[in-house]
């Protein structure tokens, strides 16, 4: 049964400020620190105002993820439209992956069903763009190797996350070699001209 209580307007300045605060808290402190009190303190309002705009903290978390996912998907869609979409999609993956946020949302998705649905849809949408870029670069041909476009997309996105996660704690062993393999793959299928 839907709530009949009056809610603050979605998309308003204060609504967006709360999402901004949630994003900062998740990135800097982790999901254990994300509370309505901390969101309110971050933007200088009373705690009860958070529940005027969001019925639950889970709703705030889902909205925060949806906004971040929409921005990321837009960057990938723009990259996909470019002349060198494979190179541009990889650039988006390697330059904008925020592994801390990915880890936080993945952990939260294990307990928040609406977030799990959103994360799954985001992964499927972004993977479809990666596959499209790889397929276009390969001329639409599946190729003779076992490395299908979807497998290449999974390997590349996983590599981007792993490289970022490890670099954040100072691990760099093997990173240059992984980057060289990916750069070689891109150069072979989507040469810069």
Average pLDDT of the chain, as a whole number: 87
Lookup: tokens for 38: 């901390």
39 and 73 both lie in a single domain: no
Statement to judge: residues 156 and 94 lie in one domain: yes
Could you tell me if 105 and 146 lie in one domain? yes
Do residues 43 and 77 share a domain?
Answer: no
* Helix/strand/coil percentages in the chain, nearest 5: 75, 0, 25
pLDDT the model gives residue 3 = 58
CA distance 187 to 193: 10
Mark whether 49 and 90 lie in a shared domain: no
pLDDT in tens, 40-69: 999 999 999 999 999 999 999 999 999 999
CA distances from 165 to 102, 160, 169 (A): 10, 9, 7
Report the b/e string of 49-58 with b at 16+ CB within 10 A. bbbebbeebe
Where is 89: in which H helix or E strand? helix 85-96
Unique residue bearing structure tokens 């190729």: 143
Same domain as 77, residue 48:
no
Is residue 67 domain-shared with residue 25, that is, in the same domain? no
Q: Are residues 86 and 38 in the same domain?
A: no
Q: Would the CA dihedral through 19, 21, 22, 27 be positive or negative?
A: positive
Based on the fold, state whether residues 94 and 166 are members of the same structural domain: yes
Q: Express each pLDDT in 160-173 by its tens digit.
A: 888 887 887 888 89
31 to each of 26, 37, 51, 185, 193, how far by Cα in Å? 5, 13, 18, 37, 44
Residue 108 tokens, joined: 């939260």
Q: Which domain-ending residue is among 30, 55, 80?
A: 55
Domain total for the chain? 2
Burial (CB < 10 A; 0-12, 13-18, 19+), residue 28, is exposed
3-state secondary structure of 167: helix
The residue segments making up the domain with residue 21 are 1-55
> 76 and 140 share a domain?
yes
Tell me: do 90 and 169 sit in the same domain.
yes
Residue 51 CA to residue 8 CA, distance in Å, equals 9
Question: Which residues are within 8 A (CB) of 51 and not within 5 positions of it... i.e. 6 or more apart?
Answer: 36
79-101 confidence digits (pLDDT tens): 889 888 888 888 888 777 577 78
Look up the CATH number of the domain holding residue 13: 1.10.10
DSSP helix/strand/coil, 51? helix
Answer with the one of 31, 55, 79 that is the final residue of a domain: 55
- Give the pTM: 0.82
The reply to whether 183 and 111 lie within a common domain is yes
153 token code pair: 């997309």
């Amino acid at each position: 049964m839907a709530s009949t209580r009056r809610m603050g307007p979605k998309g308003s300045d204060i609504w967006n400020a709360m999402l901004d605060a949630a994003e900062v808290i998740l990135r800097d402190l982790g999901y254990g620190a994300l509370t309505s009190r901390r969101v309110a303190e971050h933007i200088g309002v009373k705690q009860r105002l958070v529940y005027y705009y969001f019925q639950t903290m889970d709703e705030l978390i889902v909205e925060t993820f949806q906004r971040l996912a929409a921005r990321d998907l837009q960057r990938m869609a723009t990259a996909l439209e470019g002349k060198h979409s494979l190179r541009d999609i990889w650039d988006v993956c390697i330059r904008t992956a925020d592994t801390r946020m990915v880890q936080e949302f993945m952990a939260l998705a294990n307990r928040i069903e609406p977030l799990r649905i959103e994360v799954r849809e985001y992964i499927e949408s972004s993977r479809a763009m990666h596959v499209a870029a790889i397929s276009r670069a390969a001329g639409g041909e599946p190729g003779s190797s076992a490395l299908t476009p979807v497998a290449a997309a999974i390997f590349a996105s996983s590599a981007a996350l792993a490289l970022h996660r490890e670099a954040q704690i100072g691990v760099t062993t093997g990173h240059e070699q992984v980057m060289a393999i990916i750069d070689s793959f891109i150069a072979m299928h989507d040469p810069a001209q």
